[in-house]
Amino acid sequence: MAKLLRMPGISADAEEVVFLEWSVKQGSQIVTGEAIATVETEKANVDIIADQNAVLWRSLIEPGASVNVGAPIAILIEVSEKITDESAVYKTLGIEGLANGVKEKTATKETKVVEPITKAENLASNNQISGDLNGGRIFASPLARKLAKENNVSVANIIGTGPGQRIVRADVEKLISSGLSKPQSNGAAKPVSKGGYVDVPHTGMRRAVARTLSASKREAPHFYLNASCKVDALLELRKVLNEDRAVKLSINDFMVMAVIRALHDVPEMNVIWMEDCVRKFNQVDVSVAIAGSRGLVTPVIRSGQELTLSEISKQIKEFAQRANNGELKQHEIEGGSFSITNLGMFGVESFTAIINPPQVGILAIGAVVTRPAVLQDKIVLENVLNVTLSVDHRPVDGVLAAKWLQHFKKLVENPALFLAKEI
């Protein structure tokens, strides 16, 4: 019996997604547990997984369409089922209006392929960027379409560099960086001639960040602890370890390693606040803030207590690359009990950060600075790194947070304590 496949709930705060592509062809059999399509949320790409054996009889949306959660995206039939009256199927499923949008196109002289034309008014708003180029349609990848829409860019004058002159993400980015992009006719970001300003519409990611952090400041009582870590020994060890490496270890890699080890050694901090309990974790999962071309994302390093410094460094670099390419999956940015954010590479010496709920805390890492100090009645120069710990006071009190930060400082100032596998 035919049934509708509806857009599933992807994440707690995702009410609308951008449909990227089908992983199986129309008319193909699908198997329980198989990825059948990919969609894009505000922060990541997510696979839609089949929950039954069936045949994807008709797809109802095209790549690039914005789809509300719960909207129909395909019609499934049983593996052995044969359809003789297509109009009856649409009527039975309550989408008979779509039957008027079915067209026939000849594949060969003997064979005809029947496919539905997506009706945006019946299913979802279609946000494809299209137009005429020498009398034909402009083809663009889903990511290129979304990037152009978010930046209010017209693609009418872009010559794509993808297969068949298809416009890809890099083409849109090149146009944006050149400053030659023209606003779309219905764009919201229009210059105001007498005001001296431009209103730039919020991207989906920016809205998501705003919602999350606003809720965090309202609901989680933050308190803050500061510490200064002497990093001369760490910098020397980093220099030694990087001598024979093609890909160098960063200071941030060491900081992430120290956070993971401190959470492992002080397990009372490896928790999250829940309505009915404080949940304690056996493994250490931490989020690392990455500012990619698509905005800020926080992919999670899982079971960090089992990883070496080199493995952590490799994973962070892979996350950063995939974040820039829009390839992070939803499950990769969910979870974790703690976050690390670093602005030291911008010369910021210290700052405070907002907790990413329901995590217990976030460590803000500043730049390494050289300052004078007194050692055995002599003035010497030492390298110091400032950190600020933001903590949710509901599951963690000040003494516990101070104990954790003290242990983190000890590890940073004596890196050989947790780097035995690397030497």
Q: 54-83: per-residue pLDDT in tens?
A: 999 888 888 878 788 888 888 999 888 888
Length of the chain: 423
Angle between helices 251-265 and 309-324 (to 10 degrees): 120
| 3-116 topology per CATH | OB fold (Dihydrolipoamide Acetyltransferase, E2P) (2.40.50)
Helix, coil or strand: residue 345: helix
Please state, as a whole number, how many other Cβ atoms lie within 10 Å of the Cβ of residue 83: 13
Q: Identify the residue with better confidence: 211 or 133.
A: 211
Written out in words, the top-level CATH class of the domain with range 221-422 is: alpha beta
Give the CA count within 13 Å in the CB-facing half-sphere of 138: 20
39 pLDDT band, cuts 50/70/90, is confident
Label residue 376 exposed, middle or buried (CB < 10 Å: 0-12, 13-18, 19+).
Answer: exposed
More confident residue, 396 or 72: 396
Mean pLDDT of the chain: 79
pLDDT number for residue 203: 67
Neighbours of 322 (CB within 10 A): 19
pTM of the model: 0.64
Does residue 150 register a pLDDT over 90?
no
CATH number, span 132-189? 4.10.320.10
Q: What is the mean pLDDT of residues 309-328?
A: 89
Q: By mean pLDDT, which of 59-73, 270-284, 306-320 is the weakest?
A: 59-73
393 is catalytic: yes
Nearest to 18 by CA among 50, 46, 60, 54: 46
Continuous segment of H or E residues that includes residue 72: strand 72-77
Kindly list the domain boundaries of the chain, sorted by start residue: 3-116, 132-189, 221-422
Select which of 222, 264, 331, 393 is catalytic.
Answer: 393
Res. 189: pLDDT tops 80: no
